[in-house]
Amino acid sequence: MERPQIIYALIIRGQRVVLAEYTALAGNFQQATIQILQKLESTSEWKSYIYGEYAFHYIVDQTKNLWFVCMAERLLGRRIPFGFLQAVQDSFGESYSESAVESAIAYGMQSDFRERLKLLMEKFNSPDVDRVANMMAKVQHINDHLMDSIDKILERQEKIDLLVHRSEVLSAAASSFRRDAEHLRRHVWWQNFRAMALVAFVLLAAVLVVLLASCGFSFHC
């Protein structure tokens, strides 16, 4: 199966003035996208709108009233389309000033920026982007994990004195418990010894009584 693709990209001021667009396919993607945009809210969050087998992803630069939109196959997910849109937004911001954006007419950046959109779309539609993104994600995960570990070490450092104190208290309690246990064991042993001695004495006395009763003090039976 072919890998899902980003199909169409659009940069629009407000929700009506198209500044630049690109698609490698034939189709009336602009009209469909603009109709979808009328239903969407302007937000600083990155949003997606699912429409059948396709998804519309968009980033809004509210300071410049710019919408960076792409249409992609739904199975592509969100990570790659938003990576593409972020790259488009960064490149567009580097290419045009805020005043140029405000004064631009419809398709005012099409001739200059269409080729950039094409190159970025080809890059993010390439299967290699997954491998690069996965490697970057792993590096970021390792970095996040390292920073989290450092934070935890610093937090633990503040608790070292408390842990040492608790360890000393536990050690002292363990020693006291061992002494008490040994004392109890000896006490129980002596109680058992005295009980056994008493039983032996009683048995011996009983035997002597029987012998005296049967044989007398001379023990001649």
pLDDT, tens digit only, all 221 positions of the chain = 478 999 999 999 987 899 999 998 888 888 888 888 888 877 778 999 998 999 999 999 989 999 999 999 999 999 999 999 999 999 999 999 999 999 999 999 999 999 999 999 999 999 886 655 555 556 466 557 666 765 673 376 666 466 446 778 677 767 776 887 787 788 777 788 888 888 888 888 888 888 778 777 676 66
Is the separation of the CB atoms in 20 and 11 below 8 Å?
yes
In the prediction, which pLDDT does 3 show? 87
Helix-strand-coil split of the chain, %, nearest 5: 60, 15, 20
Is the separation of the CB atoms in 7 and 29 below 8 Å?
yes
Give the whole-angstrom CA distance, residue 81 versus residue 210.
107
In the prediction, which pLDDT does 139 show? 42
Q: What's the DSSP call for residue 13?
A: E
Biggest CA pair distance of the chain: 141
Retrieve residue 201's tokens.
Answer: 């004495």
In the prediction, which pLDDT does 131 show? 59
List the beta strands (DSSP E) in the chain.
6-13, 17-23, 47-51, 54-61, 66-73
In the prediction, which pLDDT does 221 show? 66
